[in-house]
Amino acid sequence: MAANPRAQAPVRDIVDYERLFDCVHCGLCLESCPTYLVTRREMDSPRGRIYLMKALAEGKLDLDQSAVRHFDLCLGCRGCETACPSGVHYGELIEQARDWVERNYRRPLGDRLRRFVIGQLFAHPRRLRMAVAPMALAERAGLRSVMQRIAPAAIRHWLELIPPLARSERGSNFHRTSQRASGFASPKADAPAVALHTGCAARVLAGHENESAARLLSAAGYRVVTLANAPCCGALDLHGGNRERALCFARANIRQMQAVGATAVTTMAAGCLTTIAEYGAMLRGEPELAAQAQTVGQSVRDLSTLLGQRRLRFTRPFPCTVTYHEACHLAHGLKVREEPRRLLQSIPGLRMVELPESDLCCGSAGSYNLTEPAMARVLAARKAENILKTGADYVVMENPGCEFQIAAELRRRGVPIRALHLADFLSLALEDNPDWRPDA
Ligand code: SF4
Ligand code: SF4
């Protein structure tokens, strides 16, 4: 066999080195990359970051603050994957690179502390619930804005992102009941079962989305089984560079998902959907779980696809103007783009207006808006400007993180446009649920 010249390079175990050569440096992804659009620096583009990975892998570059900075600034949005004609799996490369960075680079103390808090809080609903309890109390007393103003600068922007907690609390216990009464006729015993992963941070901050989703799925004739004890899906760690913990979470989830015997698995967060869909790839090296991981991954469906498959019908007129923001991992990871639009367009009286740059990241990107607030704010502002151009009453998306990020930016601007998750919006259209009216 002829020697592979690439294999002769002194390769450090950063990423799947061979896959770096899928990139032919054409640059067609550059204008789809949010960070490149903002900084116009090659090293903040997908191509530039692939150069960096290669130089690091070949030992031509030391892992220093500058290289880490370019990796940190990447949103992991995968807009570059959609744009790339060569099929570069950039998402997997950056996740591998981040894992290597976290194992080989000592971050400044403040940075380490921030990442530690995020990892210990957001993947654990009970801890997060305790952490936001003072905020919920302040909100009930009408002092939320005061609390935000007097909070230390380091966490002020975190607090701004937290949605109104009174509404969140109404659905926060949803995960404790499986097969919760939906208000619709109970689906038949032989109806297709959907396993609903209720998330970790989303369970606390957007429990109502799970509740709305379960009601819609029931109305569409599915039997909903909530995965009450499922841990975090691992997305947070995967994107943050802690692959080992992400794999632990993945293994626990696969066992639970397989045990309930559902035909489909869903969750309301797009990043989580993509992570679960990729369990097969994540665990391909583990013979005892690889096949199950593959099965679980292949059963992942987002809400719009599930509802579209059962042709959920909307008969009540709901006159309003709506624009649709595409969550990155749904559009670029799972390639679900038309299904949510089709559902929205099927609502009588509703006028759809296309959002300019609908698939450009809003800056939420998992915990990115907590670790990179400056870039996240620039992207949120760009998104808000585009939303304003549409004249919409509602901006709808299929990801709680995007909802928090966009809603916070609209609140800052005092704009009366309501940002809602697709589950909540459809619930409103179907039943006129007063919880989701613009003035709720
Ligand atoms: S994942 Fe997003 S931010 Fe990162 S390089 Fe690709 S397009 Fe740019
Ligand atoms: S990632 Fe794809 S689109 Fe971007 S430079 Fe490489 S080959 Fe071209």
pTM score: 0.92
Give residue 392 CA to ligand 2 midpoint distance, Å.
35
Q: Which residue lies with its CA nearest to atom 5 of ligand 1?
A: 46
Give residue 91 CA to ligand 2 midpoint distance, Å.
13
Q: Which residue lies with its CA nearest to atom 8 of ligand 1?
A: 33
Tokens of 372: 């990179």
Distance CA 421, CA 163 (A): 12
The residue ranges of DSSP E strands in 221-318, in sequence order, are 223-226, 264-267
Give residue 80 CA to ligand 1 midpoint distance, Å.
6
Q: Which residue lies with its CA nearest to atom 4 of ligand 1?
A: 74
Q: Which residue lies with its CA nearest to atom 7 of ligand 1?
A: 33
Distance CA 60, CA 435 (A): 57
Distance CA 360, CA 358 (A): 6
User: Among 67, 66, 94, 69, which Cα is nearest to 79's?
Assistant: 94
Amino acid at residue number 197: H
Give residue 113 CA to ligand 1 midpoint distance, Å.
25
Environment class of residue 378 by beta-carbon count within 10 Å: exposed (0-12), middle (13-18) or buried (19+)? Answer: middle
For ligand 2, mutation pick of 88, 89, 92 (most atoms within 8 Å of CB): 88
Give residue 137 CA to ligand 2 midpoint distance, Å.
49
Distance CA 60, CA 243 (A): 25
State pLDDT tens for residues 318-333: 999 999 999 999 999 9
For ligand 2, mutation pick of 15, 26, 90 (most atoms within 8 Å of CB): 26
What are the two backbone dihedrals, phi and then psi, of residue 83, each rounded to the nearest 5 degrees? -80, -20
Give residue 78 CA to ligand 1 midpoint distance, Å.
5
**Using a 6 Å CB cutoff, which residues line ligand 1?**
32-35, 46, 49, 74-80, 90
Q: How high is the pLDDT of residue 2?
A: 41
User: Among 229, 194, 232, 327, which Cα is nearest to 271's?
Assistant: 327
Distance CA 9, CA 57 (A): 9
Task: Give the 3-state secondary structure percentages of the chain, helix then strand then coil, rounded to 5.
Answer: 60, 5, 35
Distance CA 60, CA 157 (A): 38
Q: How many CA atoms lie within 13 A of 329 on its CB side?
A: 29
DSSP β-bridge partners for residue 196: 226, 266
Amino acid at residue number 338: E
Distance CA 239, CA 349 (A): 40
Work out whether strand 394-397 and strand 418-421 pair parallel, antiparallel, or are unpaired: parallel
Question: What structural domains does the chain harbor?
Answer: 10-104 (1.10.1060.10), 312-436 (3.40.50.11810)
Q: Report the alpha-carbon angle 301-347-331, nearest 5.
A: 35
Note the ligand closest to the C-alpha atom of 98.
1
DSSP 8-state symbol, 327: P
How many residues can be counted in the chain? Answer: 440
Distance CA 295, CA 109 (A): 41
Environment class of residue 60 by beta-carbon count within 10 Å: exposed (0-12), middle (13-18) or buried (19+)? Answer: exposed
For ligand 1, mutation pick of 25, 30, 35, 49 (most atoms within 8 Å of CB): 35
Note the ligand closest to the C-alpha atom of 76.
1
3-class secondary-structure state, position 11: coil
pLDDT less than 70: residues of the chain: 1-10, 167-187, 432-440
Q: How high is the pLDDT of residue 157?
A: 85
Give residue 289 CA to ligand 1 midpoint distance, Å.
30
Q: How high is the pLDDT of residue 439?
A: 42
